[in-house]
Structure 1
């Protein structure tokens, strides 16, 4: 048989020729097979053919000769070349590792799908899910492609019986996946600031730890919004422009104006990306108060019962022009009748002291001045008034200038002046109260009267009849219940000696001078009147007579209290020794005589004067000192030397005739300040005759006992140890 002019393919029916083929060895070389037994008659067929490979029932033989001896050749077909087409699910996609399907379609010359043929795939960009696949019954073989790199990819498909096919795809930057906002962390309220937004695609998430691989996205339109601080009544925060487009560097900007209200301004930027996903980013800018322009001084309550129990809290608050509090910057100096207490502004922009309690009805004016962060006075001042008031009537005290009088027909003292004083349960006199008088004998000059400024209402009694006259004075309390008091006046028609006592002024003013005059007169046949006694007394607010005269040498005492952080928690019962320390200090002050002066200094990382030397001659002054002690809170380190320096300064400027004493309490070791060994404080104390007593609170292993012992011994004082805070009161005593 002559050579063929084309490259044929021999196609056999596998079932028909299996009997002939199965015994044959692999066709590795050109071989002549003769006398191969088949079940049918022998037939010799000789071809010069183009292939020698058996695959799925098809002999594909390369150039050579083969002789197949079979009885029957069911089908021999010589086919022309196949056609291979290549397509992509999309021809442009994002370089974010998403997959696109590549489809190869293999058909023969008649358009019939070619099944079971291996198709090889390659690409010059990106990654394929497989390097080859076999066609299915529809002649289709598929793979997927993805890429993190941008650019054009050429995908090639190869099949043995067809010309190679290619398809081109483009991987582009995107989609928008991350926005990075940059701005300041905080700024003054009502000021403007630049914010910057940079847009990246998905590489920002895939390569989160390698920013060099992040791809920026230009021409992205971002939307900006701002939320004012919670509770703002201004709602003045804004951002311009509300939208902007990124430049070629993937960056755009906007200008933020912070709200007038201090607090958190919320910045938000967002965009809906190409996949329909909302991509957003948020940032906060804290708006802080501006310059201080206002100081308010308020009392809570403004009106306080003068019951010796209730108090009023005085609060100083410093604000900017928009009423935002000035936080923890500076302090407020409170001045009450010359007594000064300075308190730092806290985390809410407030400083507070307590006024009271008081048993006296009085109006207390409290002045406040703002001190800046370095302690200098400013022109921000204000004041408030606290009124300690009386309560409702609780009793009536009835008195008479004469409890024995003559009948009207006998010359002499035949009339008694009756005084009814209306007072509340705390002993305060009540003015402008209606009082009704009645008597069981004789006549009254009036039966109704209104109490004057001293809480007194008066009437007079006279009688033509002898006997005991019971005079009753009554009034109503605020609930409508009657309150009354009585006095008995004896009316006589025989001779007797009358004793009348007058007190001027009546009532007695605290701290004032009173005159007590006793007049003795004869009634009836006893004649003559003479001044029997005249006394002058000086009373303090407690009613004691001239107490300073008996108090001895005056004392100037400064209590120096440790308010370092360790004073919050030391031991387990109680856990707050600061509370016990303040209680013990107040008890110590209460035990001092009225001509003593007390000042308070506290120290932590630095020292401050909580109140200057204050004379203890009045309950109001004692209240001020108690308030200064109560206002001490623990935090920070331990600057013992600085605390002693402030005490020395106070005592050096004290009274020249007073004995000068410092009482120092600490629970630790001096680890802050400029005079850590206290040598300078000791020298100044000795130069000014100041005695220092020291108290170490807690176990000796936590306190510097040698230093405390040295301070006391070198200044003429004594060192004491209080193992626990509950024992401080005994040490102070």
Structure 2
């Protein structure tokens, strides 16, 4: 029985007394007399609790209420109160030292079925700012750039000083010409809700210290610190050369010295920046040699190198380029100043190639290399070339192989080069002797004096792959290395994609005039981009548009809708905009028109695209029907068929493309989106659904919702999703013209089909040819494994639609186990190679013997198509000679192994020691710093000097009188001819009360 209702039952003589009842509480509210209290000041707040009943809020008396508050914020007293006749009760909240929001809750539990609760939030502000708790800033900033300085303060109880009630401010000042982002050297910034005071500083454009002064609210004291501006990214480079002429004798002793200085845009030294130094050595008797080094500038922005000495005449081109800015570059030619030809090698790349009926520009480069007795190339020698034999039987070959020239003259590298064009087989299958697997061979002879060499070349009309090889350098010193590259290209006819028949079905309704430039102009631009993407020798493109029927008048239509033509705000620019972007008004015979049937005429397609005139409604259903019908009637059976539909708003005329409502046999101009539809009499019931019509004729639908007038989840949006998904196409949303151009490019790429061939490569080194004789491969070469160099493998596609697409990322594998096998070889399971794909491997070999060496031994083959077809690797020669070249040389400085050499705890001295290795010719300056504020500020306490004979250093920091805490010791070494080097170590210090400076240097 309810505690608020008292019922007296008197049983006797069947007499019943009626019950008497009191009010039941059903609402409780709390309030305080002070919206804000201040942490720790001892103030109290009176909390008033009101208990009422009903919508008239009648006060309820005699109600017991339990009060509670999070003890973190304070206490409430008394914890239980009882309402008076006015329905109210009061208690006192006494807060503590924590700022924040104290939620005071009141609960009525007795006499109610479910406890009745209420609450009030008492805000507690922080006390006065007592100290700076955190100061964040970047100690080093690029000169002329900005950085944020963040101050966080707390009161004496550790509460954040924030802006929840009243926002305190902090005054910042910096020395000129540095300034804050408002352009002044002084700024006052309020604290934010997170307790942060943030000022943005722009440091001086001249490298150096920028002293910042901070004045927080009283009683906090003034604080200052330094932000160092450092040189930025390289914007200029200078060089000094010794000797200044850059010319030295090739005496095996004399070097050329270079000093490069990188400067930022303000002329500051650009320190700790990468500098690529590339050298190309051109000897009169040797091929070019290349050397490249990435060096780092020191704190002066400098890099110093030497080049040479050389023992043969020639020239070196030395180029220095900033790693982060290739336009910052400088180059210098270095000269090394101050016998008869005897041999010739012959090679071709590729040796096997497509016939010219497959690839009309198929060509092989035949190269004859004339050398002296030491293997040096000889320039100016004439070599004659001739096809001495040819055989294509039994296949008919209307075009025989030819040489582009009968002779060539050796260049500075000793090479005489001519081009070989293979034969072309008949492409008429009705001709006797036709075959889709025809092969021809020819022997080419090169003659120089009384020396001649022959090489056999092969051409086929069924290739999947062609192979190219490179070796660098082609002339190498014994015990040096060569990098061998094998490159396979998927360029055979069997890998060609299927032809494409595609129709662009474009909205030309009146809303296409919206925006500036308008949507119709953007759509025409994107359509022309699509036209560029297809191969007009193989693919065809048709054009359908949908909108109004009858005579168009674009000026009048724009005026009727308030000036959509040109800028949408009015009609003042309609005429000039129309003249610049549209042709003449035209008459459309239907609401959807086939503007151009499937065509391979790129010019006609562009002309038709430019003729569209927007007007009236959006008969998307009719447009899709027209486009599919064109592909059904005129599309090729072997072609990929697709319709690309572009619409900028909800469809209306002709109704639902998915035919989900009631079909009408006559056209109906619905003014809004409908499930009903116009019934096409030449289609059955199922094909009234345009996705079914498309699927029945192998047509994909690609849908483009252009502009945000078609929103996600709308009727048209969902219809487009369904049309695309049910036909194997894709629905794209293109809110802007750049998005639209990208969508058209993606669709063009997706329509291209792919074929591939499984491929394997085995490079055999069991025997290698040296000077015409076979010898064991391991006596000629050693395999060299080096990360990112050997063996590297990568594959990519470069073609008209995919300019560079990575298939196999460049990576390195170790072929040492394959090299040390009983039969040394390098096997590659390449996998599927597709049209336009390039697969490439590079491996490094150390050359152990001199002579003219054919890299690839007998049995080195590429097999593909499940082993039914193969290619041999072309002859690829190197010349190994005794050769000396020092090339680039530079100094190095390394400071490492920084260690604490004292005993713990650290309360007086902090001794450290380190190792040093320096290979230069100057003095090394070693500066020693400490920081006890998390590396914000560095204090230099020692400087040492070292030379190239110094092996280490020591120093001691006197910590007596310093504050205890975590100390970082930083040793930084610098020298003019090398990059800086440094090391850090962090130790806990228990400092003493007093102490003077004490430094021990050994």
Normalising to structure 1: TM-score of the pair?
0.33
Higher relative contact order (CA 8 A, sep 6+): 2
Larger C-alpha radius of gyration, 1 or 2?
1
Normalising to structure 2: TM-score of the pair?
0.25
